Amino acid sequence: MRSEDAAAGLNASQRLHLFSSAKHADKMLAEVEAVLFAAKSKSPFRKYKGSLSPAQIRVVEDYIARIRTQMVRVLESQGIPLPEPEFESVHSIRVTLSFIRIAFQECTPERMRGYGEVPAGKVRELNGLVDEMVGAVEKLDSYLAQGLGQGLEARLDRLAQAGADVGLVKTLEGIVGDRSFVEFRPTLSMIVDRLESGSFEIALFGRVSSGKSSLLNHIVEIEVLPVGVNPITAVPTRLVYGAAPRLTVWYADRNTERTDLPELPQFVSERHNPGNYKRVTRIVVELPSARLRDGVVLVDTPGLGSLATAGAAETLAYLPRCDLGVVLIDAGSTLTEDDLGTIRTLYEAGIPASILLSKSDLLAPDDRLRSLTYISEQIRTQLGLAISIHPVSIQAAHAYLLEAWLGETILPMYDRHQQLARESLSRKIGALRESVITALRLRLDRAPAAQPVAGQSAIGLNEVDAGLRKAVGRIAETRELCFQATHAIREQGDGALAEAAASLTDAWLRGSTVPAATLVQNELVRLAAGEASAVSGALRDLARELARALQTAAQSLGFPDAHGDAELDSAIQEMPRLDLGELPIDLQPVFLLKFAKGLSVRHTRNVLRNQIGPRVEEAFSSLGSMLDAWARRTLSELQLRFENQADAYRAHLNRLSASGGASSAEQAAILHDLAALAEAPTGERVEAAPVL
């Protein structure tokens, strides 16, 4: 060989061939790794048997690593650079999850008709199966989108090195990981977030237009949050201290964005971000406000009871995270089930509550006192809580009311907010510890069926699983029923006029002297209410069935009592009503009345069509649209409340069905975990939440 040939390198084609061969070889090695993984995976559709021992698997993995190391050296020796990774792993996983979601969505009864008619008795269960699996996939997708729990162990180690007392949290993190208690991951991640931030979060809750945003603007002394009668705040908005005003927005599917404060309505209002279609996951507003100092955070939450479906769900999901819940009750509409439900949830989560009667300037002093007394009595009667209600207003003439509440209740907390934050965090950690202990004990005391529900025989694991699935299927059925009903209401205007004309004619024949406008309006309202009641009735039936499914599962699996009918039923509130305004009707009994009732009805109907037809059709169309949005929001809240508990039952069912019971080694490990949780110090003593 000539010396110049030996010194020359490979040409471009040769280098490309060597690179392609190495890349192909690496792909084959990845397939070998996939075989190793598949052989020991928990997939129900395993292709390969586990014929290699753990020691042999480690040897194969070591050889694969050695081959790859040598391959890299070979490529480097020929001056062939290695490429950078092409795709983000999280993005690729989420794309794959989208295809998994589509695969299950293709299994609905409607889409399976091409394979034969689905038996009627299986329709609900099949709908439930699809919703259950899609929901599970979406939870993983949400986890990946928001980065929940990433690096919890490392984060806890950093906190420990910084001097934080995280012993119990580390114990819980280890148990949750070792026992695959994935249902506790979001709560655990939230606790670590709070440990890292050290902030004290004061969140405002209330119905749409209860005055939350206006009140917060007044507290921080800056007009920063948008105010209006339409649903505001698609996601919770945090107000924190910053040297200069700044807005930071986090998204589920793109990079974090920093922008100017005037852009805030583009992200938090239903008008500009309906249903949170922009997929905003977090909003932080930095302000140089003296009342946002030393780690105190104020949070504006989406209005409960609004037609903003995503907003209400966001609030329910956020609620357990705060350290103090401030519940606003609108003086113009007094106490509702939504308000009571919020107070109940705060108390059950161990979170102190402060109750405000907002817009108190609308009431005279005597009326204000009666309203405060009534609200206090209702809370004591229905929740068993003795709570002082504070009247507040942002109007200049009544601002002293707000200042009095701030001075007596909120500002004193600033001086001890760090202690309050520790106490709040301790309650959250204590609640998680109790939940994990319950899950461990249930695993230890596993039985195919626990004590039967009163009046029923014992229920097996498969029946519990099927019951939860059918309940989810009922949600899908109710969603379709509500859609059809609200669509029919949109088209009901002209038919309602015809019925109103017949009713008016009958009233004239009876000699009624009530004005025609009153008779027609009452009949139209009655007809609309009858149609709307079918929607609310379906939702109430659904709430009762969901409650029964949860109670059956809870008792069969040995869990504490689940939500009762009243707790789920409380999600069904504030149904929209037909708004006709004042109808301009000029109509007298017609001369045909005594001779031909049919002709009289047709004549009356034609006159009504001419005088009020367009307005009535628009009113019914608007009612149908509002009812559709209301039903969707209510279904969303019902499903959220149901899934919050059903997920824990499904996770336990999965663990129980994975084997015939805990092995002796697992029983010993569980007993060790229980002992560790019993011995771990809690820091602050966990107590029931005080009310302010």
What are the distances in angstroms from CA 505 to CA 35, 519, 528, 678?
81, 10, 20, 77
Cα-based distances in Å from 126 to 109, 111, 130, 440 = 7, 11, 6, 31
SS percent in the chain: helix, strand, coil, step 5: 60, 10, 30
3-state secondary structure of 623: helix
Q: What are phi and psi of 686, to 5 degrees?
A: -80, 125
Question: Within a domain: residue 148?
Answer: no
Together in a domain, 216 and 278: yes
Beta strand pairing status for 237-241 and 280-287?
parallel
Mean pLDDT for the chain? Answer: 78
Same domain, 400 and 496: no
d(CA 334, CA 665): 58
**Structure confidence at residue 686 as a pLDDT band (50, 70, 90):** very low
Out of 276-290, 609-623, 659-673, pick the least confident.
Answer: 659-673
Q: Which of 418, 442, 466 is the endpoint of a domain?
A: 418
Residues 6+ apart with CB under 8 A from 46: 38, 39
Quick one: 460 and 360 in the same domain? no
The parent domain of residue 221 ranges over: 201-418
DSSP E strands in 359-449: the ranges are 389-391
**Is 377 a member of any domain?**
yes
In a domain, 131, yes or no: no
Q: Let me know whether 374 and 521 are in one domain.
A: no
Give the DSSP H or E segment for 474: helix 461-490
Query: Predicted confidence band at 452 (pLDDT cuts at 50, 70, 90)?
Result: very low
Amino acid at position 535, single letter: V
Helices 461-490 and 516-557 meet at what angle, rounded to 10? 170
Beta carbons of 656 and 351 less than 8 angstroms apart: no
Q: Does the pLDDT of residue 561 top 70, yes or no?
A: no
Of the candidates 300, 302, 195, 285, the residue with the CA atom closest to the CA atom of residue 240: 285
CB distance 136 to 484 below 8 Å: no
Q: 3-class DSSP state for residue 222? A: coil
Are 450 and 551 in contact, with CB atoms under 8 Å apart? no
| pLDDT value of residue 565 | 59
Write out the two tokens for 618: 């628009």
Residue given tokens 């030393």 in the structure block: 294
**Of 67, 84, 101, at which residue does a domain stop?**
84
Which uninterrupted H or E stretch holds 284? strand 280-287
Instruction: Clarify whether residues 648 and 529 are in a common domain.
Output: yes
Question: Does the residue 381 lie in any domain?
Answer: yes
What was the pLDDT predicted at 595?
57
CB count, 10 Å around CB of 498?
15
Residues 496, 342: Cα–Cα separation, whole Å:
38
The larger pLDDT score, comparing residue 294 to residue 469, is at 469
332 and 460, same domain (yes or no): no
Q: What is the mean pLDDT of residues 271-283?
A: 77
Whether the predicted pLDDT of 684 surpasses 50:
no
At residue 294 the predicted structure's pLDDT band, cuts being 50, 70 and 90, is low
651 lies in a domain?
A: yes
In angstroms, the CA 152 to CA 173 distance is 8
Which residue, among 578, 572, 606, has the nearest Cα to 592 in the 3D structure?
A: 606
User: DSSP label at 363?
Assistant: S
Given the DSSP bridges, would you call strands 246-251 and 280-287 parallel, antiparallel or unpaired?
antiparallel
C-alpha separations of 228 from 233, 436, 601 in Å:
10, 43, 45
Whole-angstrom Cα distance, residue 214 to residue 197?
Answer: 27
Mean pLDDT of 246-274: 82
Mark which of 61, 84, 107 sits at the end of a domain.
84
- The residue-averaged pLDDT of 344-365 equals 84
Instruction: Specify the 3-state DSSP secondary structure of 356.
Output: strand
Q: Are residues 242 and 354 in the same domain?
A: yes
User: In one letter, which amino acid is 403?
Assistant: E
pLDDT digits (tens, 9 = 90+) for 480-496: 899 999 999 988 888 98
Taking only the tens place, the pLDDT of each residue in 113-156 is 888 888 888 888 888 888 888 878 877 776 676 554 456 667 66
Alpha-carbon distance of 307 to 630, in angstroms, equals 5
3-state secondary structure 51-92: CCCHHHHHHHHHHHHHHHHHHHHHHHHCCCCCCCCCCCHHHH
Confidence of residue 467 (pLDDT cuts 50, 70, 90): confident
Is residue 382 domain-shared with residue 456, that is, in the same domain? no
Please compute the mean of the pLDDT values over residues 325-347 and round it to a whole number. 81
570 closest CA partner among 532, 544, 552, 608:
544
Among candidates 136, 294, 101, which has minimal Cα distance to 202?
294
pLDDT the model gives residue 449:
42
3-state secondary structure of 296: strand
Distance, in Å, from the CA atom of 214 to the CA atom of 578, rounded to the nearest integer, reads 29
CA dihedral 227→251→305→356, nearest 10 degrees, is -60
Q: 286 and 335: one domain?
A: yes
Give the pLDDT band (50/70/90) at residue 282: confident
- According to the per-residue pLDDT averaged within each range, which of 308-317, 592-601, 653-662 is highest? 592-601
Q: What pLDDT, on the 0 to 100 scale, is given for residue 456?
A: 40
Place of tokens 């039903």: 631
- φ, ψ at 250 (rounded to 5°): -105, 140
- 404 or 90: which leads in pLDDT: 404
Least confident range of 127-136, 339-348, 559-568: 559-568
Percent of the chain beyond pLDDT 70?
81
Residue 237 counted as domain residue: yes
pLDDT value of residue 455: 42
341 part of a folded domain: yes
- E strand map for 317-469: 324-330, 353-358, 389-391
Residues 357 and 486 in one domain: no
**70-120 residue pLDDT tens:** 888 888 888 888 888 777 777 778 788 888 888 888 888 888 888 888 888
Q: How far apart are the C-alpha atoms of 266 and 259, rounded to whole Å?
A: 11
* Same domain, yes or no: 247 and 317: yes
Confidence of residue 61 (pLDDT cuts 50, 70, 90): confident
Tell me the two tokens of residue 657: 């069905």
Is 282 buried (19+), middle (13-18) or exposed (0-12) by CB count in 10 A?
middle
Strands ordered across the beta sheet of 389-391: 257-259, 246-251, 280-287, 237-241, 296-300, 200-206, 324-330, 353-358, 389-391
- Range of lowest pLDDT (538-542, 602-606, 656-660): 656-660
∠ CA 389-393-396, nearest 5°, is 150
Of 511-520, 535-544, 615-624, the least confident: 511-520
pTM score of the predicted model:
0.57
Residue 545 vs residue 590, higher pLDDT: 545
Q: How far apart are CA 271 and CA 633, in angstroms?
A: 16
> Radius of gyration of the chain from Cα atoms?
31
- Which positions ≥6 away from 561 have C-beta within 8 Å? 551, 554
117 within 8 A of 146, measured Cβ to Cβ: no
- Maximum Cα interatomic distance, the chain, rounded to a whole number of Å: 124
Q: In the prediction, which pLDDT does 542 show? A: 92
Helix crossing, 365-383 with 337-348: angle to 10°? 50
Q: How many CB atoms lie within 10 A of CB 89?
A: 9
Structure tokens at 82: 């290695």
Q: Is the pLDDT of residue 309 over 60?
A: no
Predicted pLDDT at 289: 86
Q: What CATH number should be reported for the domain holding residue 336?
A: 3.40.50.300
Q: Is residue 536 part of a domain?
A: yes
**What is the pLDDT, as a whole number, of residue 253?**
67
Structural domains in the chain (count): 3
Cβ neighbors of 173 (< 8 A, separation 6 or more) are 152, 153, 156, 188
Q: Indicate if 337 and 276 belong to the same structural domain.
A: yes
